[in-house]
A = this chain, B = another copy of it.
Amino acid sequence: MVLSKACTYGIQAAIYVASRNEDAYVSIQSVAEKLNISFHFLTKVLQQLTQAGLMVSYRVPNGGISLGKPASQITLYSVIAAIDGTDIFTECMLGLPGCGTATPCPAHDHWTEMRSKLFSLCHKTTLAELAEKANQLNLRLANLPLV
């Protein structure tokens, strides 16, 4: 798996929150139910996003979480980086230490090309775009079984 489960949950939740187009807080509980994710696990994941400033939380009755800045300013990259770190954007394809032009592995050229494509893709993709897509076509976001 390219992204960890924690990371995919975080992205799903972030898109969902962004797609609501409201400033109001939404409880993690309801997000977890909507996306069919374990509430407690999602809580821990979202804490990483709040710590990174991508979300803000309000610990109060009828509180919850909300985006920390406009959805158009939150990139997919920043969400991934906050949860999984930046390893996938810098690591050697073969897992060798110190990927770089100084000591390249045989796959280095090919891999850096792929990686930079992924890098720019994640940088230019914002929550606003993903949320809009999710809304526009009623795109699937939840981890629900396909009936």
Contact = CB atoms under 8 A, between A and B. Distances in A.
A103 interface: yes
Interface of A: 1-3, 5, 8, 11-12, 15, 76, 87-88, 91, 93-98, 103-108, 110, 114, 117-118, 121, 125, 130-131, 133-134, 137, 139-143, 145-146
Nearest to A18: B106
A87 B1 contact: yes
A25 to B, nearest CB: 22
A104 to B, nearest CB: 6
Contacts of A125: 107, 110
A8 to B, nearest CB: 4
29 contacts: A1-B88, A1-B95, A3-B94, A3-B95, A8-B93, A8-B94, A11-B94, A12-B94, A76-B107, A95-B143, A96-B140, A96-B141, A96-B142, A97-B143, A97-B145, A97-B146, A103-B140, A104-B139, A104-B140, A105-B139, A105-B140, A106-B130, A106-B134, A106-B141, A107-B125, A110-B121, A114-B114, A114-B117, A114-B121
B91 A141 contact: no
Number of this chain's copies in the complex: 2
A20 B97 CA distance: 23
Contacts of A139: 104-106, 108
A145 to B, nearest CB: 7
B1 A106 contact: no
